[in-house]
Amino acid sequence: MKIHPHPVAARHISALGPVLLAATSQGLAGLWFEGQRHHPDTAGWPLDASHPVLVAAAAQLDEYLAGQRTTFDLPLDLQHGTVFQQSVWRALLAIPHGASTSYAELGQRIGAPGAARAVGAAVGRNPLSVVVPCHRVLGAGGALTGYAGGLDRKTALLRLEGAL
């Protein structure tokens, strides 16, 4: 995934491991766990740990993982995906804390019934782990399938939210 112009980035140590945060002038554009699939090429991204959006994102992530917050209040920049991916990512934002859905249900929600595989691919490329709650999407029959940040993290997030 290419994000232009280069966002500013910051590294943060969260309760679930190191994360890379990225922000553009539009808002938070990325939250990736270190080593997760689809991690962007960050060559040339300036580090700015004092950027207000990155400071807020790190603080809210810590509060969330400590069980002190159930939602995020951050400006988001979701424009770095295809129109289809963006529609899936916006649908993820509508899944409430403590709830879960399936890839098929998510496809129906965005008007693409039968597109569970394409929905799954878009979910996997979500650039905003945790904030855009892709961990709330389960496979058929509630199976804990795929999570770019690792199934151990997906399980931990669902347990934190009381969905498991």
The residue annotated as part of the active site, out of 10, 31, 131, 134, is: 134
The residue ranges of every structural domain in the chain are 8-65, 83-160
DSSP codes of every residue in the chain = ---SSPPEEEEEEETTEEEEEEEETTEEEEEEETT-TT----TTPPB-TT-HHHHHHHHHHHHHHTTS-SS----B--TTS-HHHHHHHHHHHTSPTT--EEHHHHHHHTT-TT-HHHHHHHHHT-SBTTTS-GGGEE-GGG-----TT-HHHHHHHHHHTT--
pTM: 0.92
What's the pLDDT tens digit per position in 5-30?
679 999 999 999 999 999 999 999 99
What's the pLDDT tens digit per position in 68-127?
999 999 999 999 999 999 999 999 999 999 999 999 999 999 999 999 899 999 999 999
Higher pLDDT, 153 or 1: 153
CATH architecture of 83-160: Orthogonal Bundle (1.10)
pLDDT of residue 6: 74
Kindly give, in sequence order, each residue whose CB lies less than 8 Å from that of residue 44, ignoring residues fewer than 6 positions away.
6
Indicate if 46 belongs to the active site.
Answer: no
